[in-house]
Structure 1
Amino acid sequence: MTSPPSGQHRDHVPSPGGGEPVQATAPGGLRPPRPGVLALALPALVVLAAEPLYLLVDTAVIGNLGTVALGGLAVGGGLLAWAAALLNFLAYGTTARAARRAGGGDRAGAVEEGVQATWLALALGLLVVVLFQLLAGPLTRLLAGGAGPVAHAGEEWLRIAALGAPLLLVSLAGNGWLRGVQELRRPVRFVLAGSLVSLVLCPLLVHPAGLGLVGSAVANVTGQALTAALFVQALRREGATWRVRPGALVHQLVIGRDLLLRAAVLQLSFLVAAGVAARAGTAALGAHQIALQLFFFLALVLDAYAIAAQTLVGQALGGGRPGDARATARRVTAWGLGTGCLVAALLLALRDVVPPLFTDDPAVLAQAAVVWWFLAGFQPLAGVVFALDGVLMGAGDVGYLRTVTIAAALVGFLPLSLLAGPLDLGLAGVWTGLTLFIALRLVAVLARVAGDRWLGAPETVSR
């Protein structure tokens, strides 16, 4: 993240693209008020929460079709979510590169970063489509523990839903460059529009139209198509040149290497956990799917503080204000801890209300009751971890975060998940591994922020 030259500060002026204002130099050396944590976190929260919120509704709709359909969604949805999370650097890397260009007064260059990220998103998305069309059967059978109705349902869903991969990645790139030029409202409108279409279509296609699980996949792709079209239209309105620059594409890939490795190990851990749950039985897999979707949703809610922290810490260190960076770390830690405690209390209060919204199968509900205590218990820990992740990302300390996340997954999450089967620990073993994973990360990030090395970490634009 770059800062204005010494003696100059930025004020808001109208943007050339007709969206929200960008920053410009203000006369008289007056510093505009710096936004607070909530002012940055709330718009990010809407965008972050839209997709998992739709997936929660989707899970509830499919859960009423029975445990086979719910298990199929868990298998197919887990594979597609793995691919999307692996390529999430399209959003965070593009944000940083576009912000640097926009901060230097080069809005056209910032938009160009969005164009190149969009081309990269299309290329990677098409690769995902081809891979899933070729490997949907073997992958779903592997994850479901062999051929059977759950594997078949997962394959059927995945072949259709995977067609939306390029659209989903284009939206990630679009979110990136628009955040970079400090336009927060348009991404909210675009993502909400697509999610609303999916929310309306999903129950209609699944039940009245009689498409079942296939209807869920069709609704998913339709909503993604609308969101992607809106992001592409935003680039067109900027008068962007659609020339492909191979060098820029390669550079964006290099920027994402730390995140890519980190995400690969993390998503592998979640896939292994899902495989262990599948082998524990259809009811265990269904309960795992319900709890995992709630976990992902709540993680993204808490991650809104990380995005706010990333921006505020980057600005503070770029402006030579390490004291402000430390103050931001304390504020977002308090917000993360407080929100995590509130979420934990709500989950415990609603433990007899929420699971039946997803399924009425007694066996699934019994398994969900076991997982619920883990899901609620580690929320305060997760709130602090995600907030401090954002602090270290804003400081450019991504290499440390990569190492810590991979080590915690290899030491805590993966071993306990793999041992859950042989030791007959079931879902309790899998979710003990996830709890240990979060606890190990908490210790590591607290120790890092307590010191000074993160204040002088090399600047990076990846997450």
Structure 2
Amino acid sequence: MGGVGGAVVNAGLNIALVYGAGLGIAGSGIGTAATQLTMGAVLCTVVVRGARRERASLVPHAGGIWANARDGIPLFVRTLSLRAAILVTVFVATALGEVALAGYQVVNSVWGFAAFALDALAIAAQALVGHRLGAGDVATTRRVLRRTLQWGVGAGALLGVVIAGSGWWFALLFTQDHDVRVAIAVGMAVCGLLMPMAGWVFVLDGVLIGAGDGRYLAWVGVLTFVVYVPVALAVRAWAPDGAAGLAWLWFAFAGVFMAARALTTGWRARGTDWMRTGA
């Protein structure tokens, strides 16, 4: 609920500052920064209250900080590889002309919104898998894996139909430029087509994080990034400008990059090495 509230406040502030106060991009930055600082303050308040209720110390413990940092390094590497792939995608979009770049900004926002929705399933899978593996219940872990994958692919398919089918009408909300509208519609059609695979990837990502398999995710994160870079650069070098170039770019990112992630995480999930039971 806190995240939803923050998003609503952020959207309201951005509208008020960008359009009402006429601050443009600066207004968007101010609204977002103010919202995030407020959410951070609220989170700190919740943590302090909880600590006092449980009579837990608020003094940092060096050993605990180091242990968390050590355990978090693999996930940091995995996240860094994802961010690097996104940066490469933006780099390619800037070379495909103004129409493709404008279309990319809109389609990327839609992709991000869908990713957050599918991540809700991934977080549920992460919690359920961690709980059952901690209890030593491998059989239930397998059932959770199968069921959450079904939900992930199904939700991805449903979102994909909506995204692919609403591209043209969605584009009307953002621009009066016909070429940009076409680019947005085409880009959303490609994203919609590949959204079921994204649902598979996001859920498996959550499952392996819940199992504490961060080291594997780090290695395959680097591997999938290495696979993606030459494909993305090929799009930059040879794809045409405009809607066609944007379609090729989204096929590279939502297709090739996500397929590499789907294969590596799916291969891992088929085995049992990730199922480490116990606390």
- Per-residue deviation, residues 373-394 of structure 1 (Å, max 9, x unmatched): 2211111111111112222222
Pair 1:204 & 2:16 matched: yes
Corresponding residue number in structure 2 for 1:299: 115
Please, which of 430, 433, 442 is the counterpart of residue 262 of structure 2?
Answer: 442
Corresponding residue number in structure 1 for 2:134: 318
Distance in 2, Cα, partners of 1:308 & 1:234 = 22
Bigger helix fraction: 2
Pair 1:416 & 2:256 matched: no
Conserved? CA contact 2:133–2:277, under 8 Å: no
The change in CA–CA distance for 1:442 and 1:226 in structure 2 (over 3 A counts) is same
The change in CA–CA distance for 1:235 and 1:456 in structure 2 (over 3 A counts) is closer
Q: TM-score, normalised by structure 1?
A: 0.55
Structure 2 residue identity aligned to 1:316: R
Please tell me whether Structure 1 or Structure 2 has the larger radius of gyration of its CA atoms. Answer: 1
Following superposition, the deviation at residue 430 of structure 1 comes to 2.0
Gaps of 5+ in 1: 1-187
Distance in 2, Cα, partners of 1:207 & 1:362 = 24
Corresponding residue number in structure 1 for 2:29: 217
Corresponding residue number in structure 2 for 1:430: 249
Following superposition, the deviation at residue 448 of structure 1 comes to 2.1
Following superposition, the deviation at residue 410 of structure 1 comes to 1.2
Distance in 1, Cα, partners of 2:275 & 2:46 = 36
Conserved? CA contact 1:266–1:405, under 8 Å: yes
Paired residue secondary structure (1:243): coil
Structure 2 residue identity aligned to 1:420: V
Aligned length: 270
Distance in 2, Cα, partners of 1:221 & 1:315 = 35
Q: Which one scores higher on RCO, CA 8 angstroms, separation ≥ 6?
A: 2
- Per-residue deviation, residues 13-48 of structure 1 (Å, max 9, x unmatched): xxxxxxxxxxxxxxxxxxxxxxxxxxxxxxxxxxxx
The change in CA–CA distance for 1:456 and 1:244 in structure 2 (over 3 A counts) is closer
Conserved? CA contact 1:419–1:429, under 8 Å: no
Following superposition, the deviation at residue 341 of structure 1 comes to 0.9
Residues 421-430 or 269-278, more deviating: 421-430
Distance in 1, Cα, partners of 2:277 & 2:176 = 51
Distance in 1, Cα, partners of 2:102 & 2:123 = 31
Distance in 1, Cα, partners of 2:145 & 2:151 = 10
Following superposition, the deviation at residue 455 of structure 1 comes to 2.0
1:162-181 correspondence to structure 2 within 5 Å: none
- Per-residue deviation, residues 263-317 of structure 1 (Å, max 9, x unmatched): 2222112112111211222221111111111112111211111111111112212
Structure 2 residue identity aligned to 1:283: V
Corresponding residue number in structure 2 for 1:227: 39
Residues 334-343 or 427-436, more deviating: 427-436
Conserved? CA contact 1:273–1:417, under 8 Å: yes
Pair 1:339 & 2:159 matched: no
- Per-residue deviation, residues 183-229 of structure 1 (Å, max 9, x unmatched): xxxxx2x3333333222221121122111111111111121122112
1:225-264 correspondence to structure 2 within 5 Å: 225-238=37-50, 239=52, 241-264=57-80
Following superposition, the deviation at residue 445 of structure 1 comes to 2.3
Corresponding residue number in structure 2 for 1:363: 179
The change in CA–CA distance for 1:242 and 1:318 in structure 2 (over 3 A counts) is closer
Conserved? CA contact 2:168–2:184, under 8 Å: no
